[in-house]
Structure 1
Amino acid sequence: MALAVEEQSLAIRAMAAADEISQRRLDRIASHLRATSLMKDEQLAAEVCAAAAKVSKRPVSVSVLTHLMAGGYPEDRQKVLDFFLKRPDLETPVEITKEQHRELAYKQLLAIVREAGVNPMKYLMEDPGQYFALLEAVGYIDMSLAIKLGVQFSLWGGSVVNLGTQKHRDKYLEGISTLRYPGCFAMTELHHGSNVQGIQTTATFDCMSDEFIINTPSEGATKWWIGNAAVHGKFATVFAQLCLPSPDSHLDTNMGVHAFIVPIRSLEDHAVLPGIEIRDCGYKVGLNGVDNGALRFHDVRIPRDNLLNRFGDVSRDGKYTSILPTINKRFAATLGELVGGRVGLAYGSVGVLKAAATIAIRYSLIRQQFGPPNQPEISILDYQSQQQKLMPLLSCAYAFHFATEYLVEKYGEMKKTHDDEVIADVHALSAGLKAYITSYTARALNTCRESCGGHGYAAVNRFGGLRNDHDIFQTFEGDNTVLLQQVAADLLKQYKAKFEGGALSVTWDYLRNSMGTYLSQTNPVVTHRDGHAHLRDPHFQLDAFQYRTARLLHTAALRLRKHSKRLGSFGAWNRCLNHLLTLAESHIESVILAKFIDAVDGCEDKDTKKVLNLVRDLYALDRIWKDIGTYRNQDYVAPNKAKAIHRLVEWLSFEVRGVAGSLVDGFAIPDSLLRAPIGLQSGQYSEYSHYVGFD
């Protein structure tokens, strides 16, 4: 078997070499013809620091970009932005106490629902894309407001809609939509975050009273970091172990984690209800407009109907029934219905990246420093070092935008069809994109701050606030390291299914290809090709990403099988953990690039399409260069090709610099909502001076 595979591999390499021989000759001829041109390119890159006037300008329509980046709901987005533009009293000041910020965030949320006439709950249920567009717009106003909106509608409201049945919708939905019933989502405990199956809160059924009794059995079972709990919440969706008394034993029977609606404050006077303890989690690194609290329950009784019973129910006589046969399947179904939170975080994180990129790039365009002898100072974005910091970051903002638009589309499809394949697809894709994008944005925020020097450190210019507010995105709705492991596990499951003749889900189609397909790309001719046309070919770029993922997947499977014989499955997984995380990130990068290519292909404006091609090339080649060691180790890229990729990344960063202003204008974030003086479209220094008190 191994010999046959080896022979097949050699045959593939031989055929590829024969097919490519003419191309190699052409490349050699072209390299001679290109020599002067390449020298000029390198000279141009070297002169960027000293010749601002030579910056390449490409025609691009900001209005086309704006329409493209607004997604499918530009009117809804603009409605919210216009509302806050007319309400300066709702603007979040730079200096504000925790208590003031919490009340302002709640006032902002009430204004959206009761004054602007927006119904987020309706959006979420009928058209998720509309809801996530709203969430991005709200994030520009205040990240605390965006999180508070998400807690109320996506988490509290979403749990009632997705985990409950019609009786729960009839009783609670109208109050949730109008904010008469502000609520919480009480899943995380002091001792358990990512391992939700291990939570310790109990909900024990009492047949005599037809009630569940909610208890916090230990300090570690305290519900922690519960948004809306400290001040405003009146209800909580509480996740607990459902326990049924056993007639044959003094021990209860644990039916696994279920969700329950628990009133925590009086509807009349907002007093905390008996048996419930609420404490304030206090100041946080960021998001201090969100009132996070800790909850404990002491023999709190709720009606049996307060069990959110879509996946499991208890009858009046204490009999448990479910459409799903095991605890694990019920748990998976329960969490599967809550992926909307991850979708929202991925989408919202892109909005944060857009805002930070806008501020840093606009400032870098106007800030002048040094220059050639006896000549005017030049823009700091004319320095190659600044371009290399910010232009790949800008390309990622565009790439992530198109990827999350696709994620929202798939999420909407999942909610409509309830198709098992699409559900599994969205679960893995939302986990991977949330983890990858939020981690990247967290690093990018520091890059943007540093790129603006001392002025980036001023609170009014918002990098500190954005960084602190966004930082928690990496750990809530699932720790990023844990989520990437879920992606790796899904890939390995499908890798196994591939060899057993099973079907693969729609997103990972490229894994249908045999390893032989990718081996053919490592023949000496291809690995040495370094022409611009080849490197900027989206087929080469995507093949490179997918080749890396396929190799990582193949070697991960082999390593796990090897180590499991000695260490067991858990030990083998832990032994290969870094490999698995790299595999997951590589796969997500492949999906992001594929969606970027689709978006560029779908752009109908000729000039804009050329610019987007430029941005896509920078995203793809910069990602390849960042992991060039892997490609070199796998003999996918020869040394001359690696050098050519590096040179091309520098040149593409220079080219994108020429349209960087238009690209960030395409995000269409109004100055009054961006609020950073150094990031405004005009009058930056005047606004900054005015802020500190100069006339």
Structure 2
Amino acid sequence: MESLEENGFQDQVQSIVTRRFRRLCFHLQPPLESASSGDLEVLSCACRAKVVVNRDRLSDYMRGKHRDVQQRVYDYFNSRPELQTPLEISKDEHRELCMRQLMGFVRESGIRPFRYALEDPGKYFAILEAVGGVDMSLGIKMGVQFSLWGGSVLNLGTKKHRDKYFEGIDNIEYPGCFAMTELHHGSNVQGLQTVATFDPLKDEFIIDTPNDGAIKWWIGNAAVHGKFATVFAKLILPTHDAKGISDMGIHAFIVPIRDMKTHKTLPGVEVHDCGHKVGLNGVDNGALRFRSVRIPRDNLLNRFGDVSRDGKYTSGLPSISKRFAATLGELVGGRVGLAYSSVGVLKISVIIAVRYSLLRQQFGPPKQPEISILDYQSQQHKLMPMLASAYAYHFATLHLLDKYSEMKRTHDEQLIGDVHTLSAGLKAYVTSYTAKSLSICREACGGHGYAAVNRFGSLRNDHDIFQTFEGDNTVLLQQVAGYLLKQYQEKFQGGTLTVTWNYLRVSMNSYLSQPNPVTARWEGEDHLRDPKFQLDTFRYRTSRLLQSVAVRLRKHSKTLGNFGAWNRCLNHLLTLAESHIESVILEKFIDAVQSSPDSSSRAALKLACDLYALDRIWNDIGTYRNVDYVAPNKAKAIHKLSEYLSFQVKTVAKELVDAFDIPDYVTRAPIGMQATEDAYSQYTQFAGFEN
């Protein structure tokens, strides 16, 4: 008995020693040759050899089949210095430059984005990301022209609209706007107040702004360049009954706003400039008011509802709510583009911050050379999980593009719902993360991050609105939560879950039982880095949040009603939505690691994936501890391993950011150049020093 106790005590001591050596290696990287022979086994376990990354192979895997078209975008603008946006430029000059950039690119580069928007959405969004890297205002202006104005004509109209408008939209002879948002209504599209009343005598619709709250606001392309607008309004039909009118719900109409030859504002259309903005000042946002503007009946975008010459309304969909859902379902491309483009912004900011952190040196051990600021654990903690997240979001948004392309090809009803929810969730989650990360990157680069030439200010200001347009992020997350609850209800009513949400069935049946006290204490590295453990942990949290919020909603609805119950549980619902999106992101990252064609890329991606997973688990460790899903010793092990993985990712950080393959003339930050020895030379030249 004493012998067993003694052996147990020795094992305990050995375990403590091992953990302490590992802890030391989180901060230091001593050469193995300097360790004593007795320490070699422990050190070799804790301080593995650096992963060797083949940058070109990893880049090929990352950029995929659209690498060539993105390079064509970069090459075009690099060859046209007069179209590059200067650091200091006025609002009006920026707007005119942005229009010249768009027209020059579309008419001279040989790339016609609008055609790809219809035929190959993945390629279109890759072009949009590359263009946004050149100038975010240009990316948004292109999105307004092709995704919003052009997309609404193609997706909400019919053949007659495509035949009439496609070429003009494609070659920008018909620059247009997307007039949905009003001064008083944005996210609540069903509450829009602009009206389109049918006049059967003249076979026309009359577009009216009934009050100041109904003025169309923040309409891109409206203030200066737009000649047409897709206007969302309530379709009103006159009737012969006591009511006198019939409201058919929100529909979209093509409304000319300027003369094609003179560019003068048309009668009844009032256009004003929304003025200087926090960012994106190359986009001419305007406000539109309509005073009895008449348009032909054919200008109704009639895919989901039509009006005959005698004023009869017909639709293949039985209700206003069904037609409204179908209309919005066709407009998810904007959210897909924003999510994808936001990842592009995150990549650029991470590239600049990581390269500068490798370049800049300070302090260091006494009487020894300075070290790079990325050697400091605090800098690793700021930037390495962010670098891992950029990779995670890259693969998640590629998955979204694939689902969106499949939806456009098949028009599968279930897939439309899935893409609508996934695009809402990823747009909200990724843009919020990128917005926070831009500030962290600026701070991580100290005073030089504050210099406008190093771009964090313009990136942060231009990207900030991504959190609001195409759906406010808080509203979009509620849509995700609502869809999860719908799936949850169908599950318990005997329905089937779609593939996208199928994990809920497994996790809720298996993981919501009492946590296994043995598994809760496993702290081995192999276990913590096991994709199954990571994904199970993410999904357990989502399943538990879903079950608990369903119980809370049922309870509160008895006294507060459905709306009151929803509002009472709103923060819970937002956390549920974010948890689900994180689960989807991790799943797609794991898939990407396993699908990587070569071992060096797979090893690098595995490091980043493990860091992404464990960092997220640690950030919400209180949730897991509160339900005993993770015991105290395991929580500590997760924290230690996430710090160690930050250190490991740091050793290949240069290769990982280089693999994004974004040229220096696109990142355009002296402190973020790939050849770091040239960074100070470029920076000092900008300040006026001669080389």
TM-score by length of 1: 0.94
Are 1:118 and 2:111 matched, yes or no?
A: yes
Are 1:318 and 2:299 matched, yes or no?
A: no
- Give the superposition deviation at 1:32: 6.7
Task: State how far apart, in whole Å, the 2-side matches of 1:389 and 1:669 are.
Answer: 22
Q: 1:610 to 1:37 in 2, by over 3 A?
A: farther
Which digits, 9 at most, give the CA deviation of each residue in 1:407-438, with x for residues without a partner? Answer: 00000000000001111110000000000000
- Give the superposition deviation at 1:49: 12
Are 1:44 and 2:25 matched, yes or no?
A: yes
Q: 1:31 to 1:127 in 2, by over 3 A?
A: farther
Aligned mate of 1:170, from 163, 188, 191: 163
- Give the superposition deviation at 1:560: 0.3
Give the 5 Å matches for 1:628-643. 628-643=621-636
Greater mean alpha carbon deviation, residues 489-498 or residues 512-521: 512-521
Give the 5 Å matches for 1:337-416. 337-416=330-409
Which digits, 9 at most, give the CA deviation of each residue in 1:247-268, with x for residues without a partner? Answer: 1236421100000000000111
Residue identity opposite 1:517 in structure 2: S
Task: State how far apart, in whole Å, the 1-side matches of 2:9 and 2:262 are.
Answer: 82
Are 1:694 and 2:689 matched, yes or no?
A: yes
- Give the superposition deviation at 1:365: 0.1
Are 1:224 and 2:205 matched, yes or no?
A: no
Which digits, 9 at most, give the CA deviation of each residue in 1:26-55, with x for residues without a partner? Answer: x9999776554432221122336999x999
Q: 1:166 to 1:638 in 2, by over 3 A?
A: same
Q: Which residue matches 2:93?
A: 100
Q: 1:514 to 1:361 in 2, by over 3 A?
A: closer
Task: State how far apart, in whole Å, the 1-side matches of 2:287 and 2:551 are.
Answer: 45
Task: State how far apart, in whole Å, the 2-side matches of 1:401 and 1:521 are.
Answer: 35
Task: State how far apart, in whole Å, the 2-side matches of 1:536 and 1:351 are.
Answer: 28
Aligned mate of 1:588, from 571, 581, 585: 581
Q: How many residue pairs get matched?
A: 668
Task: State how far apart, in whole Å, the 2-side matches of 1:493 and 1:510 are.
Answer: 15
- Partner of 1:503, secondary structure, is coil
- Give the superposition deviation at 1:607: 1.2
Which digits, 9 at most, give the CA deviation of each residue in 1:453-482, with x for residues without a partner? Answer: 000001110000000000000010000000
Residue identity opposite 2:608 in structure 1: V
Gaps of 5+ in 2: 1-7, 35-46
- Give the superposition deviation at 1:89: 1.3
Task: State how far apart, in whole Å, the 2-side matches of 1:107 and 1:521 are.
Answer: 63
Residue identity opposite 1:273 in structure 2: L
Which digits, 9 at most, give the CA deviation of each residue in 1:331-355, with x for residues without a partner? Answer: 0000000000000000000000000
Q: 1:128 to 1:31 in 2, by over 3 A?
A: farther
- Give the superposition deviation at 1:155: 0.3
Task: State how far apart, in whole Å, the 1-side matches of 2:586 and 2:10 are.
Answer: 31
Higher relative contact order (CA 8 A, sep 6+): 1
Residue identity opposite 2:465 in structure 1: I
Residue identity opposite 2:453 in structure 1: V
Give the conservation status (yes or no) of the 8 Å contact 2:149–2:176.
yes
Give the conservation status (yes or no) of the 8 Å contact 2:179–2:229.
yes
Task: State how far apart, in whole Å, the 1-side matches of 2:13 and 2:162 are.
Answer: 72
Task: State how far apart, in whole Å, the 2-side matches of 1:449 and 1:611 are.
Answer: 26
- Partner of 2:502, secondary structure, is helix
Q: Which residue matches 1:22?
A: none
Which digits, 9 at most, give the CA deviation of each residue in 1:459-506, with x for residues without a partner? Answer: 110000000000000010000000000000000000000011111122
Residue identity opposite 1:655 in structure 2: Q
Q: Which residue matches 1:614?
A: 607
- Give the superposition deviation at 1:670: 0.6
Give the conservation status (yes or no) of the 8 Å contact 1:56–1:655.
no
Aligned mate of 1:560, from 550, 553, 565: 553
Are 1:446 and 2:439 matched, yes or no?
A: yes
Give the conservation status (yes or no) of the 8 Å contact 2:52–2:600.
yes
Task: State how far apart, in whole Å, the 1-side matches of 2:9 and 2:610 are.
Answer: 23
Task: State how far apart, in whole Å, the 1-side matches of 2:9 and 2:464 are.
Answer: 50
Are 1:233 and 2:214 matched, yes or no?
A: no
Give the 5 Å matches for 1:496-575. 496-513=489-506, 515-519=508-512, 522-575=515-568
Task: State how far apart, in whole Å, the 1-side matches of 2:177 and 2:229 are.
Answer: 4
Q: Which residue matches 1:13?
A: none
Give the conservation status (yes or no) of the 8 Å contact 1:436–1:588.
yes
Q: 1:639 to 1:626 in 2, by over 3 A?
A: same
Give the conservation status (yes or no) of the 8 Å contact 1:49–1:371.
no
Give the conservation status (yes or no) of the 8 Å contact 2:507–2:539.
no
- Give the superposition deviation at 1:515: 2.9
Task: State how far apart, in whole Å, the 2-side matches of 1:666 and 1:658 are.
Answer: 14
Q: 1:355 to 1:577 in 2, by over 3 A?
A: same
Aligned mate of 1:457, from 435, 450, 454: 450
- Partner of 1:70, secondary structure, is helix
Give the conservation status (yes or no) of the 8 Å contact 1:370–1:378.
yes
- Partner of 2:610, secondary structure, is helix
Report the identity percentage. 68
Aligned mate of 2:174, from 165, 172, 181: 181
- Give the superposition deviation at 1:57: 3.2
Give the 5 Å matches for 1:30-179. 35-47=16-28, 57-179=50-172
Q: 1:234 to 1:66 in 2, by over 3 A?
A: same
Are 1:210 and 2:203 matched, yes or no?
A: yes
- Partner of 1:530, secondary structure, is coil
Gaps of 5+ in 1: 1-26
Give the conservation status (yes or no) of the 8 Å contact 2:512–2:544.
no
Give the conservation status (yes or no) of the 8 Å contact 1:48–1:384.
no
Q: Which residue matches 2:427?
A: 434
Greater mean alpha carbon deviation, residues 485-494 or residues 243-252: 243-252
Task: State how far apart, in whole Å, the 1-side matches of 2:192 and 2:347 are.
Answer: 37
Question: Which segments of structure 1 move beyond 3 Å, counting only runs of 4 or more?
Answer: 27-37, 46-51, 53-57
